[in-house]
Amino acid sequence: MPSEKGGGGGKSGKSGGTIPKSDSTSSATTIEPSTPSTIEPATPSTSETQPLLAGSNSGDVSGKDDSLSRQIFLSFILIIPSIAPGMSLGYSGIALDQLPLTISQASWFASLTFLAAPIGCLLSGPIMDKLGRKPAIILIGIVGIIGWLLITYSLTITNLFIGRFLTGVSEGLSASPATIYIAESIMVQNTKLRGSLATWATTARAFGLLQVYFMGSLLRYRKVAAMAAIFSALGTILITFIIPESPAWLNSKGRRGDAEWAAKRLRLGPPSNQTEPTSRGDAESGAQGEQMSTTNIFKEFMKPEAYKPLIIISLFFLFQQFSAVNVILAYMTDFVRSSGFHLLNPYFITVIGGLIIFASVISISFILPHTGVKPLSAASGMGIALSMLVIGTYLLFEKAPIVNFEWGFFNLIPLAALVLNLVASSVGFLPIPYLMLGEIFPMEVKGVAAGLATCLAYIFGFFAVKTWPTLHLALGNGIFFFYGLVAAIGTAHVLAYLPETKGKSLEEIIKGFSS
């Protein structure tokens, strides 16, 4: 966030509107910048989780290579709506220096996305369960388009904040639908690649983060918002015309004919061990599942296979947010300055940071099938804790007369720690809780549980981002030790309670919570 001495001037090399000292707000304040920027259902034998129905002839079954290509293509289409929400996470990092906001207004602007995101989460769960996965994904783009256009054309702080709020709702809507769709209907039979492709939604968000940092170094904040609106529109169009409703969801609602049609349209081919679902009892069980999701949802949450994963993943989100993974994204330039690194322009470091995050998230697709979620998450937490300890220690001794910290070698220490932090968080703590949402909940409560868990994640994120200025003033450099301690506790939680999903079917994962 902007420093008290004024926005992005000084060392940043990037001019913008200075931030007044006064905390007074006015809805009529003009917000023109002074200068432009520079620089899982169970196994297919059960009626509720049968994603691809038999009944198509042998000509519909493609070879293994064609099927894999089709899975990759469909997963790519499904994650495009997640790009613009990813841009909203880092948008404050490039826009604050261009906006004439007070310190208080700037903190609200940075955290408003996280405050609004729980609304999207709360809407996403019921929409996924009642209306389907596809409407939930389409709504991401519709809300995002409205929000980004409001930011693009707004002339007052009130309209700017409304637009920011709507992009936050879109962010919340995007948290789980694509991951759930991929896990239950695209890669349900490929346990090796299911976790890998489930990370793609997070990869798309990381790509959006990179785009907002890169474009923000070259363009005004309005033009960056307009580009985000274009990404939102593109994703909406592609989902509408290419992706059918999730066969697994249709099957769970007893809509066998629709599920078969959707499976044929996906053109992935039925699994070899799949049985023909022709019995009336199978269809009736799906209808009962639909009724149960509306009338006995609280009863379902009393079962250990529902409440245990919810508690475990919610605590994971708590430790994730208060280890500063999103604080860094929202206040990237300010965080770079606060870490003690002064050799390079912080906006250049922001772009490099976006590249590091994007590359790290991509690497998960290759690392996760070999390591599993538990070892990778633990390594991530230890890396975050170590990086925060290094930064805090560096700042503690920066003023010491024993060593001249102005020497270039020593000034590289916080940069190396920041790089370690970005890599560590991007391969574990940041994406893994989200990608697990499609694997750890029973079908009866999957949409609601995933939406609730993500809702809590954003509430935690709001408090973490909103309190960064206050904690920084109160604790000084000790804030880095605080974030490191939280990361260490989060690592212990992962080692003790996080289930391993590598090589397990969705049914096996869920059954693991029932004991």
- Asked if residue 431 is part of any domain, the answer here is yes
Of residues 322 and 269, the one with the higher pLDDT is 322
Taking only the tens place, the pLDDT of each residue in 85-102 is 999 999 998 888 888 888
Shared domain check, 365 and 229: no
Taking only the tens place, the pLDDT of each residue in 436-487 is 887 888 877 887 888 788 888 888 999 999 988 888 888 888 899 999 999 9
- Asked if residue 155 is part of any domain, the answer here is yes
End position of a domain, from candidates 269, 287, 308: 269
Shared domain check, 222 and 316: no
Q: Compute φ and ψ for 343, nearest 5 degrees.
A: -75, -35
pLDDT band, residue 189 (cuts 50/70/90)? low
Q: Compute φ and ψ for 3, nearest 5 degrees.
A: -80, 165
Average pLDDT over residues 109-122: 89
Shared domain check, 203 and 70: yes
Shared domain check, 299 and 261: no
Q: Residue 59: which residues within 8 A CB-CB, separation 6 or more?
A: none
Shared domain check, 259 and 310: no
pTM over 0.75: no
Shared domain check, 364 and 304: yes
CA distance 463 to 143: 24
Shared domain check, 330 and 185: no
- Asked if residue 325 is part of any domain, the answer here is yes
Please say if the pLDDT value at position 202 is more than 80: no
Q: How far is CA 278 from CA 167, 254, 260, 281, 282, in A?
A: 44, 11, 12, 9, 7
* Domain harbouring 367, CATH code: 1.20.1250.20
- Asked if residue 183 is part of any domain, the answer here is yes
Query: CB of 357 within 8 A of CB of 405?
Result: no
Please say if the pLDDT value at position 388 is more than 60: yes
Taking only the tens place, the pLDDT of each residue in 482-501 is 999 999 999 999 999 999 88
pLDDT band, residue 5 (cuts 50/70/90)? very low
Average pLDDT over residues 380-384: 96
CA distance 427 to 358: 10
Average pLDDT over residues 2-21: 38
Of residues 49 and 77, the one with the higher pLDDT is 77
Shared domain check, 473 and 364: yes
- Asked if residue 2 is part of any domain, the answer here is no
- Asked if residue 17 is part of any domain, the answer here is no
- Asked if residue 429 is part of any domain, the answer here is yes
pLDDT at 4: 38
Shared domain check, 421 and 342: yes
pLDDT at 28: 42
Q: Residue 108: which residues within 8 A CB-CB, separation 6 or more?
A: 161, 466
341: left (phi over 0), alpha (psi -120 to 50) or beta: beta
Determine the structural domain holding residue 463 and report its residue range.
295-514
Average pLDDT over residues 377-387: 95
Exposure string of 359-398, with b = 16+ CB inside 10 Å and e = fewer, is: ebbbebbebbbebbbbbbbbbbbbbbbbbbbbbbbbbeeb
**Of 357, 401, 399, 398, whose CA–CA distance to 380 is shortest?**
357
Average pLDDT over residues 147-173: 93
- Asked if residue 370 is part of any domain, the answer here is yes
Shared domain check, 307 and 235: no
pLDDT at 508: 83
Average pLDDT over residues 242-267: 89
CA distance 85 to 90: 9
Shared domain check, 303 and 259: no
What domain count does the chain have?
A: 2
Average pLDDT over residues 233-248: 94
**Of 435, 413, 442, 424, whose CA–CA distance to 490 is shortest?**
424
Shared domain check, 308 and 432: yes
Taking only the tens place, the pLDDT of each residue in 354-378 is 999 899 888 887 888 888 899 999 9
